[in-house]
Amino acid sequence: MPDSTAPHAAVPPAPPPSSSRPWPQRVPVLIAGGGPVGLTLAALLARQGIAALVVEADDGYCAGSRAICMARRSLEILGWVGADRATVETGLPWVGGRSYYRDAEVLHFRMPSEAGERFAPMVNIQQYYLEAFAHDAALRGAAPADVRFGARVQAVRQHGSGVVAEIQTGAGVVQVGAQWLVACDGGRSTVREQLGLRMKGTQYEGRYVIVDIVQKTRREVERLAWFDPPSNPGSTILMHRQPDDVWRIDYQIRDDEDPDEAVKPENVLPRVQSHLDMIGETEPWRPLWISIYNAKCLTLQDYRHGRVLFAGDAAHLVPIFGVRGLNSGLDDAGNLAWKLAWVLRGQAPESLLDSYSTERVHATRQNIAYGAKSTEFMAPPDFAFRLMREATLRLAQHEPAVRSLINPRQSAPIAYTDSALNGPSDFGDDCPGAAPGLPAPEMRVAGPDEVVHLTQCFGQRFTLLYFSDAPTLPEPLAAFAHAHPDAMQTHVVVTGGNVAGATALADVAGQAHARYGARPGTLYLIRPDGYVLARWREPSWDAVRATLAPLMQTGARHAS
């Protein structure tokens, strides 16, 4: 039984205390919203040497677990700013899950995983920890961010060279000018409202109560789902373990239940207790946080509107099923940060930011398509869907072929296959998994001092990846890289022989050919966000220059 009859508020780590420092009159980037997306974007910009001002309406980090499942791609992005280690050390990794129909197991899935991998496919961690780790990273960058809690962007006015924002603070209203404003202020975005923009799509009626409880358990960390369990007939229940002995429990309520009544402790706790009894979790427990949720598949049509850009929930709302919400928001930040930095430093034209909108709107539509399928299974919107789900679950007990229909389709990086940024490839149909517009595949490589992972090399500059049987660069490639030291880094991946030199990496696991289709002389050009831009088996240095020319321009200036 619970050892308390009322929920206790979760106590996230406290942010550093606010100071009485004056507000700046003008900044390069103003970020409205200091949740995980806004703070991660600020950290990525800080690493690029761009100081952002972050304005968060709340007085501190969020309460409750909220988004909890961090995908491998999100961990890579956090790794670019040094926030991955704390996340992994605090979080709980997992590779699969189980689904039950009533009390019978009908699915046991595992996501791709291998020995020696850098990150597990998923790591469970409460959102407030992510906010704290991203905040810390934003303060440690080359150009530390200025993060202000307890202040809200309440009005926005654009002009030819920037934006003027009115910010409500504890001491009154201040005005701050910015060259660019990024709205990361959530599903009820004030910035979006100020610009008169509306998201379009579908909102589902099915509601889920979300409960965090503290209870010790010895269960494996995995995604657990029950359909029509004996503990809560007619409902669907999800469970995830979190750090600090916290269970995250989501359960569906009936269509005729009052949402306000559904979240009252006297209605929540008995349902939780019934389920814990059913699965044999007998340790004492107490509630931490109760909320309610319904799935939405909504997006803006464009994420750039003049000098205002949108990211995270301010741009799109994706169902929680398949954990594509916060993960897609962090991917927004990873895509936007390098492009905004390039534009602010004068290294690229402003039109580069249009590709942020095109690519990430495409990603959202893909995420929504997957999320809608998962939602229609997890919370059927009508009788026909409920009938099909029950038939699938019944069949899955005896027919393995239908079990894939139950798979929650966990978050995965989106391919920008039609992006205007994609460059040439002379591979034909060879090695489709490393084509332009796709994330560069992971590889285990050895540098002069240690074995590392190739994704650790990404995040800040373009990468020229040259595959060779010797640890030296061809002279034209070395000269090209030397001419662009702030924008370019080069690595030789040696497929045989010894590693020598700071830019040489050994293919210690023999993955170069299988994952990159590489042979001696193969060249890959990889974007700062780890996506393949172009690739050549027989590279021409003129072709490399021509591919980069639209993305880079001379006469770089520093943001002010």
End-to-end, the C-alpha distance of the chain in Å comes to: 59
CA pair distance 104, 542, nearest whole angstrom: 62
492-515 confidence digits (pLDDT tens): 998 865 565 556 888 988 899 999
Q: Which uninterrupted H or E stretch holds 373?
A: helix 352-378
Do 106 and 403 form a contact (C-beta atoms < 8 A)?
yes
Burial label for 154, CB within 10 Å (0-12, 13-18, 19+), is: middle
Structure token pair of residue 427: 């591979």
**So what CATH class is 432-551?**
alpha beta
Has residue 7 got a pLDDT over 80? no
Residues of the chain with CATH 3.50.50.60: 26-94+114-197+297-376
Residue type, 57: A
Q: Give the pLDDT band of residue 554 (cuts 50, 70, 90).
A: very low
Structure token pair of residue 336: 């936007």
Rounded to 5 degrees, what are φ and ψ at 294? Answer: -135, 150
Structure token pair of residue 94: 């997992």
Distances (CA, A) of 416 to 410, 422, 443, 501, 511: 19, 8, 21, 34, 23
What percentage of the chain exceeds 90 in pLDDT?
Answer: 67
CA pair distance 251, 238, nearest whole angstrom: 6
Residues of the chain with CATH 3.40.30.120: 432-551
Looking at 379-482, list the stretches that DSSP marks H as alpha helix, in order from N- to C-terminal side.
Answer: 383-396, 475-482
**Nearest residue to 335 via CA among 442, 441, 416:** 416
Distances (CA, A) of 536 to 135, 486, 541: 39, 23, 10
Q: What is the mean pLDDT of residues 331-346?
A: 97
Do 303 and 310 form a contact (C-beta atoms < 8 A)?
yes
Has residue 155 got a pLDDT over 70? yes
Q: What is the mean pLDDT of residues 450-468?
A: 91
CA pair distance 461, 342, nearest whole angstrom: 10
> Angle CA(457)–CA(458)–CA(464) in degrees, nearest 5?
80
DSSP label at residue 132: H
Q: What is the mean pLDDT of residues 383-402?
A: 89
Q: What is the mean pLDDT of residues 46-54?
A: 97
Q: Quick one: fold of 26-94+114-197+297-376?
A: FAD/NAD(P)-binding domain (3.50.50)
pTM score:
0.94
CA-based Rg of the chain, rounded to a whole angstrom?
Answer: 24
Q: What is the pLDDT of residue 160?
A: 85
Q: Give the pLDDT band of residue 13 (cuts 50, 70, 90).
A: low
**Nearest residue to 191 via CA among 69, 55, 339:** 55
CA pair distance 229, 227, nearest whole angstrom: 6
196-236 confidence digits (pLDDT tens): 999 999 888 888 999 999 999 999 999 999 999 999 998 99
156-194 confidence digits (pLDDT tens): 999 988 999 999 998 899 999 999 999 999 999 999 999
